[in-house]
Amino acid sequence: MTQVIFGDNQFFGINHRSEEKARFQAIKFQELSAIIEAIDAAYEEGIKIFMCTTHERIAGICDHIRAYPERYEQFEFYPCMPYAHKYANAVTEKGLIGALRSFLPEENTLGALIGGAISAARKDVDGLATLLIDSEMKMFRGLKTPVIFLQNVVTDLILGLGMNDTFKIFAEHVKHRYNAEPGFITMNAPRLLDQLEECGIDNPIICSNINKIGFRMCGGAKHYETVIATRRFRPIAMSIFASGAIPPDEAIAYICRQPQIESIVFGASSRRNIRQTKHLIDTYTARAA
């Protein structure tokens, strides 16, 4: 794990407090070259990990990184899957069978399709889950992906339904097929930690909102502080600025005071903001050491 991770929300017009800012960012990053420029700025500031969804535009970034292996020798992806809108859009555009074919693993498309259909008929969650993971990982072939995350929409749905074995299926497939560590994104880190421990996932990597005002933190900031201080897991803090509600200096000072937090993921639209955030994290991390 690393201390600072660059995220991708800003590239796809995602802002949880301001639709106006989200629209501005979507327009700014409508060209792939603008996204690459921001990623290069982060990389040059010493941020070597890019945590991203499996949005279809990420494939272009993967192609760019593959094209310049020497320049991006230390570059790593942390894929977060699935990207639900991608599947919905594909079914609308291509139909169900066309969408399935476009997402299946390349090595045996027909076999995978038949296997997936049989799995569905038998309600074989294991087969369907691993098939979907492999389809999501197609775009990252040949690239470094040491940690692979289950996106919060699915994580929290599984959590709510009590289908905890699905977490284990995901974790084991990621480890065995991709030699990667499984990570889990959630809006309810305390409850997720309970369930992961119950199904035998030890010292899990959990990425969740962590900020001083409790923005999108189920149970509130104080509850999270207690869990972080007393439980065994590897927390990654996201949404540390609460989508702009907390000034950067104040937000980062708070995060760096919390014990055990191994990494901070943030998104930024300019080199200036990337540099400022990285400097603040380095400064407050050193003070807390």
pLDDT given at position 82? 87
> Once rounded to an integer, what is the mean pLDDT over residues 273-279?
97
- Please state, in angstroms and rounded to a whole number, the distance separating the CA atoms of residues 180 and 176: 8
Please state, in angstroms and rounded to a whole number, the distance separating the CA atoms of residues 238 and 121: 38
DSSP string, 48-75: -EEEEE--TTHHHHHHHHHH-TTTTTT-
Average pLDDT for residues 113-133, to the nearest whole number?
A: 60
**The predicted structure's pLDDT at residue 121:** 41
- Torsion sign across C-alpha atoms 133, 49, 139, 100: positive
pLDDT band at 277 (very low <50, low <70, confident <90, very high): very high
Q: In angstroms, rounded to a whole number, what is the distance separating the alpha carbons of residues 186 and 26?
A: 24
Each residue of 194-250: pLDDT tens digit? 999 999 999 999 999 999 999 999 999 999 999 999 999 999 999 999 988 999 999
* pLDDT of amino acid 122: 41
CB 131 within 8 A of CB 116: yes
DSSP 93: H
Question: What pLDDT does residue 168 have?
Answer: 94
pLDDT tens digits for 162-195?
989 999 999 999 999 999 999 999 999 999 999 9
Q: Is the pLDDT of residue 124 over 60?
A: no
Count CB-CB contacts under 10 A for residue 61: 21
Q: Which fold has domain 4-288?
A: TIM Barrel (3.20.20)
**What pLDDT does 99 receive?**
57
For 222-260, b/e burial (b = at least 16 CB within 10 A) is eebbebbeebebbbbbbbbbbbeebebeebbbbbbebee
Domain ranges of the chain: 4-288
For the range 243-246, what are the long-range contacts, defined as Cβ-Cβ under 8 Å and sequence gap of 24 or more? 243/15, 243/16, 243/17, 243/18, 243/215, 244/15, 244/17, 244/18, 244/21, 245/17, 245/213, 245/215, 246/211, 246/212, 246/213
- Which tens digit of pLDDT belongs to each residue from 3-35? 899 999 899 876 656 667 667 777 889 899 999
Q: Binning pLDDT at 50, 70 and 90, where does residue 118 land?
A: very low
CA 258/CA 247 separation, integer angstroms? 17
Residue 2's nearest CA partner among 63, 60, 49, 52 is 49
Measured in degrees and rounded to the nearest 5, phi and psi for residue 133 equal -60, -45
Cα torsion 281, 212, 235, 186 to 10°: value is -130
